[in-house]
Amino acid sequence: MLKRSKPIKVTRSKERISNRIGVPLVEEIIERMGLREKLDELFGKPGSNRGIKASDYVMTLVYMFIDGALHLEDVRHLLEDEAFQEFLKDMKLPTGDAIGDWLRRYGGKLSESKILKVNKQLLYGLPKEGKILDIDATIIESEKGDSKKTYKGNYGYHPLLGIISENSIVVGSDFREGNASPQSGLVEFIESCRKNYPQPIKIVRSDSAGWQKGLVDYCNQEGIGFTVTTDQTEGILAAVKTIPEDQWEREIDEDGIKENYETASTYYSFGAKKRTVRLAVKRTPLQKQGDLFLEYRYWIVATNLPEDEYEAKAVIKLHQRRGKMERIIGELKHQINLDRLPCGQFNANCLYFTIGLLAYNLLQMLKLAGLEEQYHTKSVRTLRYQLLKLAGKVVFHARYMIVQIAAPLKNIELYTSTYYRLRNGPLPSC
């Protein structure tokens, strides 16, 4: 006969225990960069003394995104966590219904621009420079309310994002209807990304949506480099076929092994003004019908980068690194959970989505300013597991707060070193 374990008696602990011990780390950045003050300045004060401030609404959503919330009603997990609220001083947490009402009341493109201004204030503390801007659009599926049909045939929204490659910071967002064209408004978007980022942008990278005369003219006039995947039109393929065979170079990888592709470059003129761009071309042998004949698959990148600094293979490799943006978009959608939009109105979802980007940038700033370089590429999920979602007890004394963490020693050491880097490091105070 199997021996049963002792029965369990369940009681409620009276101690202030939370599994969100990473909150003070995020609060350190919010406080030093003056984000709450900036939010209240831009959105204005509530109508009464008992009203909830805009900064409280925004930061409640920020902590919901960091916590991994899927729905507005998930705010109840924060409301029921007494220790979590102790970290937030006099911040008032609204209910899920109140958050929804606030999003519908204040949502829209104007509020999107306000959150991006707050985001810019956060970016003044960036310790890691970046000069390459990647732009791309993504589909957020939604059957709710006023969502429009996308080019993929489903319903949702089609936001355009601008991300700095070197530090993975989001510097631009244009939340758009689902039926928005991928090619529309790219020049204005690049210009807004430059305004939203406190460092100079030197190179813009785009997929084939950026293959347009407006983007080429703008970058040339502003002295910005660009690499853009081109459409393989008849004119472009004709230009590629004029490249002599002796100019194609077989590439060699880091181990000295020959790759199965070749690169070369040529020039191409298009449009009424006969704009001239350089085409960096990658071709890969494509075998068909048992080697009866041989053709090539081409990948063509237009650029204005100087040839003496960026030969064809260098342009190709530089442009291939924009694939990192797909990983970041995946992280935004599936770990910050921006693939789920809570409201049936475009304006409300626009504000919700942009606050999610602010939450992501706060976590990215936490990594760049508070953690060693080996952690800079860690995902949001890993950051939660190793640093943010630790369990612990909070004890208050007259002049300081004690956080007793229930975790392995390596996690406690990571937490401690991160806190003191953020507390005493070079992050500016606003």
Structure confidence at residue 424 (pLDDT) = 86
Confidence of residue 429 (pLDDT cuts 50, 70, 90): low
Average pLDDT, the chain: 90
The mean pLDDT value for 369-376 works out to 91
The mean pLDDT value for 343-372 works out to 95
Structure confidence at residue 292 (pLDDT) = 45
- Burial code of 169-208, b = ≥16 C-beta within 10 A, e = fewer? bbbbbbbbebebebeeebbebbebbbebbebebebbbbbe
The mean pLDDT value for 168-179 works out to 95
Structure confidence at residue 428 (pLDDT) = 66
The mean pLDDT value for 331-341 works out to 95
* 73 half-sphere exposure, CB direction, 13 A CA radius: 0
Q: How many other β-carbons are positioned within 10 Å of the β-carbon of residue 64? A: 24
76 pLDDT above the threshold of 50: yes
- Which of 86, 82, 84, 57 is CA-nearest to residue 72? 57
378 pLDDT above the threshold of 50: yes
Confidence of residue 250 (pLDDT cuts 50, 70, 90): confident
